[in-house]
Structure 1
């Protein structure tokens, strides 16, 4: 039996892998204030870090999608300069490393950071520079982390092919894949087929936000028409699962396909509740999908808006569903198996970092 309790201090020592984290959703409140001052942005709803953090959390948890999306207007507004982009990326790496995240894929939409004259290539360059600096600084503090960047295209815009080309252009410099995000309803992934075809033609990886605010058609298109390697969220796959009164589950053809193909689900418990994708943490399908052996992964989505971390997301799952250290190890290995990095690198992380780390905790 483990001598390490499943509490927050112990969880913060556990090696973790994160696949779904938005750069513009994870800023430090104090950094938002300082960058706003530096760039002359005067639209913030609070003028001290504690009040601003509270506003972000309240707005994101208000149940209003309009207020939830408003939070990003403020973070994106202060990420329009080389210094701002590099600082946010650098601090992201440091904050994740401090939480014992050993591998992370952090995504952002370069097209949203052009208001002050930067080009798409410059936006990506300065962001990757910040990640590199943060990784190096974390190593000096005794924390090893590897970060891959995902470039996101906004599904309501018309730049997805351009962003896909950008992702391929920077894939040897820290970009590991491509993504589309934004409102699902009315903006099906199949409208961006040329972007996904470009990624496939160049043997490049991509994930798609699907099955969060919209149901099975979004998931079906992402997989069948677009060829997604992973599903961003994907919680609505449960629309194709029927659970009888005795607890037996019957899977439809799409759910069976997702499970059979081991298509990873980038589940974000706190965020899924905030956005209304699920009614509550207790009703989150994470446990059902885990018990049915879907490839579930634990993710933060937006650490600032959800006032969360990977350790806190794990703690919520432990408290809600009664998971133990072995379960958390399995979810972490699921994530690394699903990472957009070469197989030998994934294997090394699992065998040399994750398994030894959990062996200590499991006892």
Structure 2
């Protein structure tokens, strides 16, 4: 099943669409060190390679809650406007260099106001950084479009403020809203006013679900939270009964039986923002071969592939796709998830169509394979 002609260089050259990337989870290690020195924040290593190794080790503990504690070190250096601008610009440059042509960067404005910034200050600083990063990428011959997604933290009480902030900036770079944080015990009903306000204003919402909790969390995200995309969603496999595995069908897909929620998600083609490497680090699956992403993709769900947190997981969009190729994914599979991501972006339909027709489809033809 492996596409023997496909190399990592081929994957690196392909244009990519990234829907699920946390700004505070993708800071360069060198930048963390430099800015931590400026603000006087102690970090667990004094050299970039060692610091990157620490993040990976800490994030691989197996617990989503432990994984989330690593963000204290990145958030500590993201409390000033100039620091936010730098980090956003660097994120855009890094993604563009990796072939990303459309990225949706998410972060929680409420987490960047410890030193007096307002929500508008935070979003404005990130917007300025994104514009700078796009300009720098263009100078290097790379074109990228970037959308901000503002995150509401489940366990806090800033949902209304974040919803209103997103609506104020919806025509200035903000494309949608996210709900993130610990899933267990913090369902979307806690932020029902904010989520209802967003629905009434026709602002798209994506909700983290099916990562730290299972099928009930996904159902609540969709039916109570009004999510139009699901962040992660891999545990939807728990609502699918697989058939008998064979050598030709190791997942038992031929005999698969879908539960009511799984049917609904597939019928509605709700996009799943699957982040395989991150899921391994939180022990959602023991290996990539055992990760549900392949089964979900083969069964016809609207699977997309993202990075989640590039620093914590030491990954990149190319790395995520290449690891899938190593377990048998083909160029056609990569094309499918990329096109699905493009049609699921938080931009208007005409912009999605232009992205697909003008950028993605030409690159996935044999002659265009090496165009990014």
Q: TM-score normalized by structure 2?
A: 0.94
Structure 2 Cα separation of the partners of residues 172 and 338 of structure 1: 19
Preserved contact between residue 18 and residue 306 of structure 2 (Cα < 8 Å)? yes
Q: Does 1:28 align with 2:28?
A: yes
* Contact 1:4–1:10, Cα closer than 8 Å, also in 2: no
Q: Is the 8 A contact 1:326 1:362 kept in 2?
A: no
Partner of 1:197: 196
Which of the numbers 330, 351, 357 marks the counterpart of 2:363? 357
C-alpha displacement of 1:362: 5.5
Output the CA distance in 2 between the equivalents of 1:63 and 1:232.
19
Contact preservation (8 Å) 2:204, 2:228: yes
Which shifted more, 32-41 or 340-349? Answer: 32-41
Q: CA deviation at 1:67?
A: 3.9
Q: Which residue of 1 aligns with 2:303?
A: 296
Deviations 1:7-43 (CA, angstroms, capped at 9, x unpaired): 22221110000000000000110000111112222x2
1:101-112 matches, cutoff 5 A: 101-112=100-111
- What SS does structure 1 have at the residue aligned with 2:27? coil
Using the TM superposition, give the Cα deviation of residue 64 of structure 1 relative to its aligned residue in structure 2, in angstroms: 4.3
- SS of alignment partner, residue 12 of structure 1: helix
Aligned partners of 2:65 and 2:182 also within 8 Å: no
| Counterpart-to-counterpart distance in 1, 2:6 and 2:74 | 33
Contact (CA 8 Å) 1:208, 1:230: kept in 2 or not? Answer: yes
Q: Deviations over 1:133-190 (max 9, x none)?
A: 1011101110000000000010000111110111111011100000110000000112
Q: Which residue of the partner structure matches residue 243 of structure 2?
A: 244
User: How much is the aligned-residue C-alpha RMSD, in angstroms?
Assistant: 1.4
Q: Distance in 1 between matches of 2:359 and 2:369?
A: 14
Whole-angstrom CA distance in 1 between matches of 2:211 and 2:326: 23
> How far is 1:47 from its partner?
0.6
In structure 1, the residue matched to 2:315 is 308
Aligned pairs for 1:34-53 (under 5 A) are: 34-41=34-41, 43-53=42-52
CA contact (8 A) 2:64 2:212 kept: no
1:265 aligns with 2:272: yes
TM-superposed CA distance for 1:229, in Å, is 0.5
Distance 1:106 1:301 in 2: 10
Pairing of 1:102-251 with structure 2 (within 5 A): 102-245=101-244, 247=252, 248-251=255-258
Q: Secondary structure at the match of 2:311?
A: coil
The number of residues matched between the two structures is 359
Q: Is the 8 A contact 1:318 1:324 kept in 2?
A: yes
How far did residue 62 of structure 1 move? Answer: 2.4
- Give, in whole Å, the separation in 2 of the partners of 1:170 and 1:249: 44
Evaluate the alpha carbon distance shift between residue 326 and residue 66 of structure 1 in structure 2; reply closer, same or farther with a 3 A threshold: closer
Aligned-pair distance for 1:65? 4.2
1:350 is displaced (CA, Å) by 0.3
- Whether the 8 Å contact between 1:16 and 1:103 is mirrored in structure 2 is yes
Q: Distance in 2 between matches of 1:362 and 1:142?
A: 17
- Give the whole-Å Cα distance in 2 for the aligned partners of 1:65 and 1:19: 20
Aligned equivalent of 2:14: 14
Residue of 280, 285, 289 corresponding to 1:282: 289
Partner deviation per Cα, 1:219-251 (whole Å, 9 max, x = no partner): 111111221100000111111100121521000
Aligned equivalents of 2:332, 2:113: Cα separation in 1: 45
Partner of 2:231, secondary structure, is: strand
Residue by residue, what CA displacement relative to the aligned partner does 1:36-56 show, whole Å, maximum 9, x if unpaired?
Answer: 112222x20001111101111
Residue of structure 2 equivalent to 1:339:
345
- 1:67–1:217 distance in 2 versus 1, CA, 3 Å: closer
| Separation in structure 1 between the aligned mates of residue 203 and residue 238 of structure 2, nearest angstrom | 30
Q: Tell me how far apart the structure 2 counterparts of residues 361 and 282 of structure 1 sit (CA, whole Å).
A: 29
Kindly indicate whether the alpha-carbon contact (under 8 Å) linking 2:10 and 2:369 is maintained by their aligned counterparts in 1.
Answer: no
What's the CA shift for 1:361? Answer: 5.2
- 1:281 and 1:306 map into 2 onto residues whose CA distance is 14
Is the CA contact (8 Å cut-off) linking 1:13 and 1:100 kept in structure 2?
yes
Gaps of 5+ in 1: none
Structure 1 residue 68 displacement after superposition: 2.0
